[in-house]
A = this chain, B = another copy of it.
C-alpha cells in the first residue's frame, strides 16, 4: 500500500525557525550561517522551495545576484526599503490596488504579482 506525504523533519524545522528568528529577507547562506551548518546548504535550498511552493515564504530581490527569502505569515503584503549604506531593511506598507487597477486597464494585462523595493539611506546613515 503506497502512502505519500510531507514529513516534518529536523532540517525543515530548523529552516523555519531561522526564518522566524531572523525575520527579514535573508539569503540561503545567511540561513545556513545562522544554523551554524547544522544542516547542509542543499537542504536549506530544498526546504525553501518547499516553503515557497506552499506559499509560506516569499522570494525577494534586492538585485545582489541572489535571492532573499522571508516568511509570509507575519505581516500582510508589504514591500521593503533597504538602506544602501548599513543594509538595514524596513517594511513598507501601502495600498496599491488603485495603482494596479490603473496598470491593468491601460495595458489590458491581467496582473498576477509585482515586485516593489526601495533603496536609499536610513535616518542614521544620511
Contacts and interface: CB of A to CB of B under 8 A. Distances in A.
Interface string A90-111: 1010100001101110111111
Contact of A121 (B84, B112, B126): B112
A90 B107 contact: yes
Nearest to A108: B123
Interface stretch (A1-9, A32-40, A58-66): A58-66
A41 interface: no
Interface residues of A, number: 35
Nearest to A111: B120
A113 interface: yes
A92 B103 contact: yes
B108 A119 contact: no
B126 A119 contact: no
A118 B83 CA distance: 23
A94 B104 CA distance: 12
Given A90-B107, A92-B107, A107-B92, A112 B84 contact: yes
Contacts of A121: 109-110, 112
A61 to B, nearest CB: 5
